[in-house]
Amino acid sequence: MLVIAVALGGAVGAANEPEPLPSGMESLGATTSSDLARALAKVRRHYGDDAIVIESQLLVNAMRSGSVRATEVSVDGVRPHENKKYLVFVVDTGIIFDSTTRDETTRIHMLWETIMAPTLEHVHALRVPADGIAVTMRYHHRPYRRLDELRADLDRPGTAEETAFYLLGPDVDALLGQSETPHTLLRRAHVTVDGATRTVAAPPAELPTAPGPD
């Protein structure tokens, strides 16, 4: 099931609450083209064209990165974080990492290299109604030896984990202007795993390309 979620929020909350704005598309298999067009128009009106680009690219890149369960992307409004405001994207990647061979740091690196960095390549100049963007990626990890073994037991995906990348607009623009590279941008990003801050170095040259054994 491939989804770019649309969740229409209620009334605007207090200043410290996320701004409840629309967030994408309904299930591609269950919506009409007119419904899809209306949903996209609402996202564009609230967030701008870059939100559409980022949302769709996150979905495509998650699917290309070894997702085996449902993949979904939504926009979760503008939220405060460390005295800045971020437009938040939430990605249910559908990925299950092999925890035996892909430790936490490797998982962070792989999410950045296979989903985040390719997504930013499609942004020409970051223009969103916030100081930057935050991308929260949800996934699972458990030991497995073969992909067919994993596919036969998808109802038991293992431990849920969530990595978030917080990127300020000027830093993203520096990447687009080529004064930053994806590796230096990762070092500037604020990265959290299950809400706890992580200091992340540049990915190694020999980074795995798949979530687990083939």
**Which residues 6+ apart lie within 8 Å of 11 measured at CB?**
20
pLDDT at position 64 is: 94
Considering its fold, how many domains does the chain have in total? 1
Q: Does any domain span residue 30?
A: yes
Q: How far apart are CA 180 and CA 204, in angstroms?
A: 18
Q: Does any domain span residue 211?
A: no
Q: How far apart are CA 94 and CA 68, in angstroms?
A: 6
DSSP 57: H
pLDDT at position 67 is: 94
Nearest to 22 by CA among 38, 39, 3, 35: 39
Q: How far apart are CA 112 and CA 175, in angstroms?
A: 14
One digit per residue, pLDDT tens: the chain, 214 residues?
334 543 323 333 333 444 444 333 433 333 566 776 777 787 888 899 999 999 989 999 999 999 999 999 989 999 999 999 999 999 999 999 999 999 999 999 999 999 999 999 999 889 999 999 999 999 999 999 999 999 999 999 999 999 999 999 999 999 988 899 999 999 999 999 999 999 999 999 899 989 998 7
The residue range of the domain holding 42 is 2-7+18-198
Q: Does any domain span residue 204?
A: no
Q: Does any domain span residue 12?
A: no
pTM reported for the whole predicted model: 0.84
Q: Does any domain span residue 210?
A: no
**Which residues 6+ apart lie within 8 Å of 65 measured at CB?**
93, 95, 110, 111, 114, 115, 211
Q: Does any domain span residue 85?
A: yes
Q: How far apart are CA 50 and CA 184, in angstroms?
A: 22
Q: Does any domain span residue 213?
A: no
Residue pair 182/112 in contact by the 8 Å Cβ criterion: yes
Instruction: Report the SS3 class of residue 137.
Output: strand
pLDDT at position 25 is: 41
pLDDT at position 36 is: 65
Q: Does any domain span residue 13?
A: no
Side chain identity at residue 212, one-letter code: G
Q: How many CB atoms lie within 10 A of CB 79?
A: 16
Residue pair 84/168 in contact by the 8 Å Cβ criterion: yes
